[in-house]
Amino acid sequence: MLRRRTTLTLRATTVSHLHSLALQLETTNDDHESPELSLAETNRLLFAYSRSNLNLLVLNLFLETYRQGKPVDDLTLSCVVKSCGCLSDWILGRQLHSCCIKCGWGAGVSVGTALIDMYMKCDFVEDARKVFDFMPDRNVVSWTSLITGYTQSGLQDVVMDLFTRMQMESVWPNQFTFASVLSSVAARGVVYEGKQAHAQIIKFGHQSTVFVSNSLMNMYFKCGLVEDALRVFDSMENKDAVSWNSMIAGMVLNGSDFDALKLFCGMKLSDLKPTQLTFVTVIKLCANLKDLILAQQLHCCVVKDGLELDVNISTALLVVYSKCGKMSDAFELFSAMSGARNVVSWTAMIGGYIQNGELHRAAVLFSQMMGGGVRPNDFTFSTILTASPSISPAQIHAQVIKTNYHNVSSVGTALLAAYAKLGSTQEALSVFGDIDVKDIVAWSAMMFGYAQAGDSEGAAKLYSEMNMKEVRPNEFTLSSVIDACASPAASVEQGKQFHGIVIKFRYQGSICVSSALVTMYAKKGSIENAQKVFERQSIRDLVSWNSIVSGYAQHGYGHKALEIFKEMEAHDLEMDGVTFLGVIVACMHAGLVEEGQKYFDSMIRDHRINPTMEHYACLVDLYSRAGKLEDALNFIKGMPFPAGPTIWRTLLGACRVHKNVELGKLAAEQLMSLEPQDSAAYVLLSNIYASTGKWEERAKVRKLMDERNVKKEAGRSWIQIKNKVHSFLASDRSHPLSESIYEKLKEVTMRLKDEGYCADTDLVLHEVEEEYKEAMLSQHSERLAIAFGLISTPQETPLQIVKNLRVCADCHTAIKMISKLERRNIVVRDSNRFHHFKDGSCSCGDYW
């Protein structure tokens, strides 16, 4: 932050400030208490203190000299002003500036250069530039001080202009000028400017200067030109520790970890002793590689060289131990650092516990850190927030606000991501609004929040807002918004629009984007488009393979899913639990009981993957669909943990299909005990009783529902026509085109009967007349949606329906016949799977 320059005058407070500072420093040194020192002797002593970085002694000697009224000159003042800059004492620096002006030395080269240096170090960039502009004569030191100040203040765009102007005024750069210019180029990554500077270095004969060569290497590495950096390094006759450190750090920066290790060995062979920075860099490299043995060897070297108490080395070591899962070793090292811990070491230890799943210990350590008076920084907050939802983001949010970090982009992004994990989209949006400068990471995190909530409309609006602010999306932004388009409420057209944006920004080659597209198309019923995107992928990760396997499984193409799985096996891909979940679902929908059991056993035996509740639920479903209810029950009894609601709900649904009253009653009781407010248990059990003519038992279940105030979920179907979603309930007459819909439904039903359709009235579990049962079946929500689609779209246009419950057997039969009569491809996504109806048949093969 640039501060406004105030008018400088020598006031009475100047003498008071100087005198008080002199009293404060009076006891610092007694060596200069000589009764009389000449101006030359005083200056020699001042410069000796300054060269030794004893800046307090410089001020002490000057203040005594000034207080006693002894003479000073421009050399005296330049030395003292320089010390003010080193101590960041801008108050005394301004007062000395007043003295310089009063004495007529304010525009001199030595004093002016010292003032530029002081103002730059105190972050008064405008004041430094004014001093520079008022100087009648400027030498290379003056120019270099200004250039260095701009570089260190992050104002890189000005540096090259100054460098050019300097030479136009016939002031030739020295090695320090080149070092600053190269640092500026490295910060901006402008390669051609760096190469121009390199040419001038050779022209002026500075290529043999060690620290200039070090700056060159740093510049080339930060611009990604590893070979150029190596050539500079190899051409150096004399290499110091900084040279080797620059090479090692540069290799790590550019991902050449093993080359960095070779350089470290080369440094030791060159008889140069590794420095603290060397050990920190190489130990961090061990963390990247998770090389515990090398880290332990380096730990021994550190102890041998007496550097074990260095806080940066110790912090780097505990990061390695944490990443290698050696939390006991990390904690032992952390405990030994008791007197030297800083916020970085605390944060590293907290992060280690989180990485190793010890979230409770991470929370305790965070509390101890706060209690010990160590102020967390932005990285601390970002780290602890990754422990959500185990650690409530609301608790951390309070601390973030208290320490005024809620406006910082990295902390705000971590906080909104934590809320997004919990599905708290409004809280995440509130945090997003508080972030002062929103980078693409913040936008992407908020987009991910909408994707987690399945809010495609919110994601699309946020993307439009980001586009209006001319923020270019990255691959993670687009993958998140495409994930949001995969939600049931979104249309496939919306997903296609974002697919077009992906192509526009040329992200179709990104694995995470293309995998998101595969998943989106599969979930939106377009398995053909999912396959096309999958085939275009030049590189496929496990997510891509899992997405296409699960997609085919959910669409009822079980054999195709298993073919792709065998292709995965042929590629020797390392599979995970999601892979086998898709494979077992494929077997489940295809009725391949023995194959499903074989893959389940292979997952445990050959791939060492522990099955989750979802895997067990799929296998129970596999047995249940095949009518092997007793096998399903025995399998449940043999599980290593108690069965969850999904498993009992699956078994209960199968009992309804196969009319197994006793087992259905057992499954319903188990489900009711786990989820007493879930209507599925009551509805399915009452349907079992009704289908077997046990009306009294059915009445008791319905009464129990009323007593417990359990509400049955109404069947609802949706269809999208011209970017508008239309919703229907059974026997619904609320739609504006209701009359036309029922007229079309009546016509279709008559044509179905002419083709041999006979309503399966056994599925109507009510004691009513047969005619009324037929009417009830014909007015199910999915049939109303299809009728609306038929009257609202041109002939042969495909229809896609989404239903919140399973399609009943009668509707399934009717839709098969409708697809043939109307020459329509109809896709129905019910609560369990996709059904692709075409030419009178369904992709499920009537096994569902």
When pLDDT is averaged across residues 480-490 and rounded to a whole number, the result is 87
- Please give the Cα distance from 643 to 640 (Å, whole number): 9
Taken as a whole, the chain contains a residue count of: 848
Residue with tokens 């995440």: 428
In the predicted structure, residue 18 carries a pLDDT above the cut 50? no
Distance CA 422, CA 393 (A): 9
pLDDT, residue 587, reads 92
Sheet bearing 716-721, strands edge to edge = 724-729, 716-721, 799-803, 826-829, 834-838, 841-842
Burial class (CB in 10 A: 0-12, 13-18, 19+), 194: buried
Residue 566 has pLDDT above 90, yes or no: yes
Question: Is 487's pLDDT higher than 70?
Answer: yes
Residues 6+ apart with CB under 8 A from 402: none
**Where along the chain do its domains lie?**
1-137, 252-341, 472-707, 735-842
What tens digit of pLDDT does each residue of 710-746 get? 887 788 999 988 878 899 998 889 999 999 999 999 9
CA distance 438 to 412: 9
Cβ proximity of 816 and 797 under 8 Å = no
Looking at 486-495, 509-518, 822-831, which range is the least confident one? 486-495
Could you confirm whether domain 472-707 is CATH 1.25.40.10?
A: yes
pLDDT at 4 over 50: no
Query: Looking at the predicted structure, is the pLDDT value of residue 19 above 90?
Result: no
Is residue 9 over pLDDT 50? no
Per-residue confidence band for 594, with pLDDT thresholds at 50, 70 and 90? very high
Average pLDDT over residues 191-197: 88
- Contact by Cβ (8 Å): 201, 185: no
Q: What is the pLDDT of residue 762?
A: 61
Residue 31 has pLDDT above 50, yes or no: no
Residues of the chain above pLDDT 70, percent: 93
How high is the pLDDT of residue 26? 44
Q: How far does CA 789 lie from the centroid of its chain?
A: 41
Q: What is the mean pLDDT of residues 807-836?
A: 89
16-20, 319-323, 488-492, 702-706: which has the highest mean pLDDT? 319-323
Q: Which residues are paired to 716 by β-bridges?
A: 729
How far is the C-alpha of 664 from the C-alpha of 656, rounded, in Å? 7
pTM here is 0.68
Kindly state the DSSP code that residue 236 receives in the 8-state scheme.
-
In the chain, pLDDT over 90 holds for what percent of residues?
A: 36
What was the pLDDT predicted at 763? 54
Kindly report, residue by residue over 398-450, the tens digit of the pLDDT: 888 888 888 888 899 999 989 988 888 999 999 998 888 888 999 999 999 99
Structure tokens at 185: 């180029």
Higher confidence at residue 74 or residue 614? 614
Instruction: Please state the φ and ψ torsions of residue 834, each to the nearest 5 degrees.
Output: -95, 140
**Residue 772 pLDDT > 80:** no
Closest among 77, 84, 90, 98 to 11, alpha carbons compared: 98
Of residues 350 and 2, the one with the higher pLDDT is 350
> Would you place residue 53 in the very low, low, confident or very high pLDDT band (cuts 50, 70, 90)?
confident
Q: Tell me how far apart the alpha carbons of residues 788 and 585 are, in angstroms, rounded to a whole number.
A: 32
Residue 79 CA, distance from chain mean position: 50
pLDDT band at 584 (very low <50, low <70, confident <90, very high): very high
Contact 496, 524 (CB under 8 A): no
Digit-coded pLDDT (tens) for 314-345: 999 999 999 998 999 999 989 888 778 899 99
Local confidence band at 678 (pLDDT 50, 70, 90 cut-offs)? confident
Question: Which tens digits make up the pLDDT trace of 131-161?
Answer: 888 888 888 998 888 888 888 888 877 888 8
pLDDT confidence tier of residue 562, bands split at 50, 70 and 90 = very high
Cβ-Cβ contacts under 8 Å for 120 (sequence gap 6 or more): 85, 128, 145, 146, 148, 149, 150, 152, 153
How high does pLDDT run on average in the chain? 86
- Please determine, for residue 388, whether its predicted confidence score (pLDDT) is greater than 90: no
